[in-house]
A = this chain, B = another copy of it.
Amino acid sequence: MDTTPEALDQVLTQAALAAPTLAALSPASRAALLVSLARALDSDRDGLIEIAERETGLTRARLSGEVTRTATQLRLFADAAILGAHLDVRIDEFDPEFALGERPDLRRTHVPVGPVLNFAASNFPFAFSVLGGDSASILAAGCPLVVKAHSGHPALSDATAAVAQRVIAGLNLPAGTLQVIHGQRAGVTALKDARIHAGSFTGSTHGGRILADIAAARPAPIPFYGELGSVNPVFITREAIAERGALLAPQYLASVSGSAGQLCTKPGLVFAAVNDDFIRSLVAAASGSGSGSASAPSAEHRMLGPRIADAYRVGLHEVLAIDGVEPLVSGSIRIDEHGDGWVTPTIVRVTLDTFRAHRALLAEELFGPFSVVVDVPEDTDLAPLVGEFVTGTLTGTIHLSAGERSGQTELRPALEALIAELTAHAGRVVFDGWPTGVAVTPAQQHGGPWPATTNDASTSVGTGALSRFLRPVAFQNAPSAFLPPALQDENPLGIPQARSAAGQSLSWGRAVG
């Protein structure tokens, strides 16, 4: 049931009340909260998965993996909170010799921004929902968390919140530490409320843009971190196709069809001069007769919800009606009596000319198990295609031959140009793999230029995500008695502290002679 205006006001008051307590919490206490949440999620996993299966249509195996991912993610952020690199602590020593006159003692750390509103995703009911990646980073940063539940899995959201609230009460933390709200209207009202200091979102470009505009138009604007749509183009060199086209095809199909293609990193476009090996192997994999397909892609998979299914049905119909679109894998969508969509993967081939003529439809993301192979002429220079067809994207992928990988190839300049173009358009550049499967690690980058995200200076996966909910503060000439632990000379937290020694400024610029 949608959160009423009165209940929402209460939620926001609780969040605001919790802010100073959470900001003052030690890193160890924040980590203890995250690890306790991970344990509770693990121990309640069976009951939660049962609800999720019913609400989302995702398979039990997939959901079980997602719970593990979510719990691991909470533990990773617990460690990150303790390691303290995200505080980016800098200490400038008092410097009477400073180049511009006496420099005071200056110490900079990061503080939590305050209550954050997190719009949960439809396609990851655990990993990008109530206790997902955004939530883990918000809590690790020390901010009260309000989750706008996704309408696709309201019961799971409430059940997960109940697990979390039990943990929070057990640790004697404020009730405003983590709260869940329901309904679009409540979400928008909360986003406009002065008590909310940042927003995060995972979902469609359309929905994300509306919310980003609301955040920017507030009397006091707030940062809004939206992870939106992405086409995830893949480029396969002629040598790579020749070397292992038959191997690449089933991997491609698996990447397109996993989770019924409802992943933001699904490879939506492949640019390659495909050969017979590739085609034969793709068709074989789709029919279940290939050697490379682990699960049977020919089996129907339920989509997340009726709205997503309907959009996919319409989009697929439009694309297949284009002259020159040749199905390589002829998938289907069937809408059942509940409005649910049941799908098998579709992969089509077009020539570069057809693609160019119909780019408005073919170069856009179609959320679901669908992908386009742009069959380019053999001698095509791939690098310029990025600038011509690719907007901002979460990932860009390149498949190279073994010889090309070594760098000992006359094509090196062309490959370097292709890599540079993808680097300029994507947040993650993948080599000889597929973009689905986003590792939760310190070096992960899940974000990219618009329209992949509303803010490409940040990531929504990996420990870098923490910094979205922090704000730097410098303390000038502060008495040691009142310095936050992170900034004390004794370094009681044992975190990285970058020191600028006195006298240093006199040599600035010397490094270049």
Question: Which residues of A are at the interface with B, using a C-beta cutoff of 8 A?
Answer: 20, 23-24, 28, 31-32, 34-35, 38, 65, 68-69, 72, 74-76, 78-79, 82, 85, 88, 90-92, 98-101, 103-104, 106-108, 111, 113-114, 212-213, 216-217, 220-223, 391-392, 400, 405-408, 415-416, 419-420, 423-424, 426-433, 437, 439-445, 447, 449-451, 454-459, 464, 467-468, 470-479, 481-482, 498, 500, 505, 508-509, 511-512
Contact = CB atoms under 8 A, between A and B. Distances in A.
B471 A456 contact: yes
A512 B104 contact: no
A472 B477 contact: no
- Interface of A, helix, strand, loop or mixed by DSSP: mixed
Contacts of A88: 464
30 contacts: A20-B420, A23-B424, A31-B512, A38-B509, A76-B509, A78-B509, A78-B512, A85-B498, A90-B442, A92-B443, A100-B439, A101-B437, A104-B433, A114-B424, A213-B216, A220-B449, A221-B450, A406-B481, A407-B482, A415-B482, A416-B482, A426-B473, A427-B471, A429-B474, A431-B475, A432-B477, A441-B500, A441-B505, A442-B498, A456-B471
For the complex of A and B, the 4 pairs showing the least CB-CB separation, nearest first, are A407-B481, A75-B509, A445-B474, A216-B216
A476 B433 contact: yes
A101 B74 CA distance: 17
A171 to B, nearest CB: 12
B221 A217 contact: no
Nearest to A69: B100
Given A431-B476, A505-B72, A108 B445 contact: yes
A76 B505 contact: yes
Contacts of A65: 100
Copies in the complex: 2
Given A441-B106, A443-B107, A512-B78, A457 B472 contact: yes
A79 B477 CA distance: 25
Contacts of A221: 212, 216, 450, 454
B100 A511 contact: no
Contacts of A406: 479, 481
Which of A69, A439, A459 gathers most chain B CB within 10 Å? A439
Contacts of A440: 100
